[in-house]
Amino acid sequence: MTAIDPLSLISAPAVAPDAAALVDVTGAQVSHGALSSALDAIGAAIGAQGLAGLRIVTLLPDCPGTLVLLLALMRQAQVMPLSPELTDAELRATLDGAGADVILTVPGAGRGVQGLAPATATAEPGGLDRIDRLAGSIATGGALPPAHVGPGLVLFTSGTTSQPKRVPLRLEALDLSAGTIATHLRLTPSDRAVHMLPMFHIGALVDLCLAPLKAGGSVCLAHPMSADSVARAVLQQGATWLQAVPTMMHALIAGIPPEQAAEMGARLRFVRSVSADLAPELQSRFEQHFAPAPVVQMYGMTEAAGQIASNPAPPDRGRAGSVGRVAGPELQVMDPLGNPLPPGASGEICIAGPQVSEGYENAPRAAHFHGRWLRTGDLGHLDGDGFLFLEGRLKEIINRGGEKIAPTEVERALTALPGLRDVVVFAQPHPTLGEVPAAVVVADDPGFDPQAARAALAEQLAPYKIPHRIAVLDEMPRLRSGKVDRRAAAAALTGGRPGNRQPLSALGARIAAIWADVLQSDRPGPADDFFDMGGDSLSATAFVTALETRLGRELPVDLLYRAPTLEGLEQAIEGFQGTTYHGPLPRRIFRAMRRRVAASPGQKLGPTSLISRWAGAAPGAPLVWSGGEMATILDITGHGRPLYEVQSLTGLPQKSARNTGLLADHYAAELADLLEPGGYAIGGFCQGAVLTRALAERLAARGCPPALFVPLDRHFDRPFTAAPALCVWSQSSPFSAANLFARPEGALPALYPRGAEGLRMPVPHLDLFRHAAMTGILARMDELMADPPRPADPPIGTPAPPRLRIRASGPRRARGGDRVTVQGRLGGLTGPSGGLRIGARWKNLDFHHRMSHAASLPLPGDGAFALEVPVPEVRMPLILEVDVMVDGFFWASDAGRRPWRRLVFIS
């Protein structure tokens, strides 16, 4: 990194000396020329007092003079600005091991200052009218140690979830970041920023001071922050943009009347959102209140000297839900081992480059870096266009019995509820699940009901994501930077189960007895919470099943998630008018599937429906889908088409071909009335493709065929005649046609006589449903629905299927590590052949898959082949199942189209 001219930090090369640099809400001004002169004078005083090159801690109020003093100090020393509101204990803990040489403060600030080791200096920065006296106000309190550091800043991380870490930032990094921000925001000499952040924040020094000054513009200081000071900065002092955290946005909406907000919106080029996640609901409210000023959401951190990524400045528009494209340091999304991940894959955001700090002073480097890449601790993914989407902090992810929950998702759902002003979600310890989500909220509505909020969330979130407890506070605890103090918020949610042993009604007593049996606990009181007493998803299912059996009533499967307390449960049961299911699907399967549907955040279509619907009023052609995350499709389509989710029997003991057909019958009876013939697409991922194929055939039989069938990574060996198809193959699945056939495209005319197209995706099986891959698949699906693939003529002289004989040599009883040799011979081949694909699978006696082994072999002239299959290291009987595929055209075996099988006892 090359050295820079310190004066270039605060002024554009061609800026007019008499142009305003700093103003305040009263109209007092300091020009660029006067500011440079003041910095020179202060710099001379710093040198005369021996402060140059030292580490200087500042404990100064948020006022114009402090900003000027920090600009002067950071050009010659290493400055550590701290909040003057720190208590004695906090100040001592912060300075312990920090290597401070001097503490620069004002009389009365920092009660514990006098007892600390570094020398103490005093300065009275004051307002803009006192800048000329700043140099004379600096005085030191004793002899100073020799210089030992270069110029720049030492800032602290926010410390919302752990102890703050010291971040050294060189002057060159600050200058580079400021220039990047000025360029990205298209700042000009006519732009004026509203400065209302605390002076020890990276945004206060780089984003709101260095960046606008380098562009030749100006800064309006509006401290202390209030709705009135911001309005005066815009309406009276001509500010053209401001920067705010979400809490400030709430305050501005509440504190500025609509007429004044509209006038401000007409004058502001944009409003920059920083420091915390901006809920879409809050962004929409803010942009409506201050229309037409747009909100530009960005992503930055202290360690990067400010900005990392940002949506574009007007007139360009950003992407909803994204913090924008990379606009600063290099960025990679990485897995836990430091390997870069492809677009669409979620991982930890890592950054590198000259703007990025070289490491923390009070934390080991290895724990926070992958080589040169700093691990930010933030989770996210990049889409195919390079837009970054944040998914929460790595340390804040809640692990609820193995289910990972991002607090950001739950916070956004809560923020969308009426009557809530502030929300934070965090992990709360749980006796059986390890962690569960809990929430602390601030409500504008004094009648806000946490139980009603939980019930409302059930329409947006899966049951396991709904906070088990919601506490209401008068004010949200916050750090001076504006971020929520999560540790303080979690501490506010304390207290055990209330003592509530009032007499119970007859129904309440019966429910309490079943509750105690299921949880093996004491009988609950009216206000006791099922999950707080140790309940989880499995015990909740057992509890509702036991309730239905003993009460003889149909109950909602998500009953406990809506009413987890005994009192609420009793009221819900009394008010629920149950419906009885009478249909072709076995009742046991229906109940199991209904529980799954209850966990889906989609819209439920009725009491006996097993279908979840998203974006039901959207104008596009509907898509019926099974498997994978529906949220991925919804995000890609942007609510542009109705989505119907039909869940398969994957993971259930009732999974079989017969039951899959019965489930398809159940779905078809409902969907045939919702869909237009030939006006929708249907498909599925892996096992979901098996279900949707059966469903598509049944819908076609009812006179409602699809326009397109889209199986992802699932090959079928019998013809499909209900619709054309888009067959998608990954590079790793044992069920993918790309791995089953040498030339899978060759089999499509025979398997899909209505027409088909093959689409190879160069990704592993589990990545096929990632954002990047699905974007291309859905785009091609739309193209084929508009112009379907046409049936291809079958090859002239297609040979008859070859004859196949298979036998296996090896003992009927084997040990783990042994090998079984599968041998066979193909006869009746005509014409050249591209080779064989042999697939061997070990399965349990219920045919659930355990291990696969496959090989591609050249076909000898005599048709003979052999494959050695390793025996698994297990102690149980297994079925060895062998399939043989010839040249992408035939699936042949000794029993027609069925695979060859042999039972092997393993000891």
Q: What is the three-state SS of 107-167?
A: CCCCCCHHHCCCEEEECCCCCHHHHHHHHHHCECCCCCCCCCCCCEEEEECCCCCCCCCEE
Q: Which structure tokens are listed for 90?
A: 């906090």
Tell me which amino acid residue 234 is.
Answer: V
Q: Any idea what the CATH number is for the domain that residue 174 is in?
A: 3.40.50.12780
Give pLDDT, residue 804.
60
Are residues 75 and 214 located together in one domain of the fold?
yes
- Are 82 and 200 in contact by the 8 Å Cβ rule? The answer is yes
Q: Which residues of the chain have pLDDT under 50?
A: 1-7, 111-112, 115, 141-148, 495-501, 795-799, 831-832, 888-896
Give pLDDT, residue 809.
57
Give pLDDT, residue 116.
54
Q: Which structure tokens are listed for 234?
A: 């815009």
The count of domains in the chain is 6
Are residues 700 and 610 located together in one domain of the fold?
yes
d(CA 253, CA 231): 11
Are residues 230 and 373 located together in one domain of the fold?
no
Are residues 624 and 731 located together in one domain of the fold?
yes
Give pLDDT, residue 700.
94
Q: Any idea what the CATH number is for the domain that residue 837 is in?
A: 2.60.40.1930
Could you report the per-residue pLDDT of 265-323, keeping only the tens digit for each? 999 999 998 877 777 778 888 999 999 999 999 999 989 988 999 999 888 888 888 89
213-226 core/surface letters (b: 16 or more CB in 10 A; e: else): bbbbbbbbbbbebb
Are residues 407 and 347 located together in one domain of the fold?
no
Are residues 828 and 895 located together in one domain of the fold?
yes
* In-domain check, residue 381: yes
d(CA 119, CA 78): 15
Last residue of a domain, one of 310, 343, 375: 310
Are residues 401 and 386 located together in one domain of the fold?
no
Q: Any idea what the CATH number is for the domain that residue 412 is in?
A: 3.30.300.30
DSSP 767: G
pTM value? 0.54
Last residue of a domain, one of 752, 786, 820: 786
Closest C-alpha to 802, from 884, 869, 708, 867: 884
Last residue of a domain, one of 465, 492, 519: 492
Give pLDDT, residue 39.
86
d(CA 900, CA 907): 23
Q: Which structure tokens are listed for 345?
A: 């894959």
Q: Which domain holds residue 143?
A: 6-310
* In-domain check, residue 796: no
Are residues 608 and 555 located together in one domain of the fold?
no
d(CA 281, CA 724): 41
Give pLDDT, residue 562.
72
Are residues 445 and 345 located together in one domain of the fold?
no
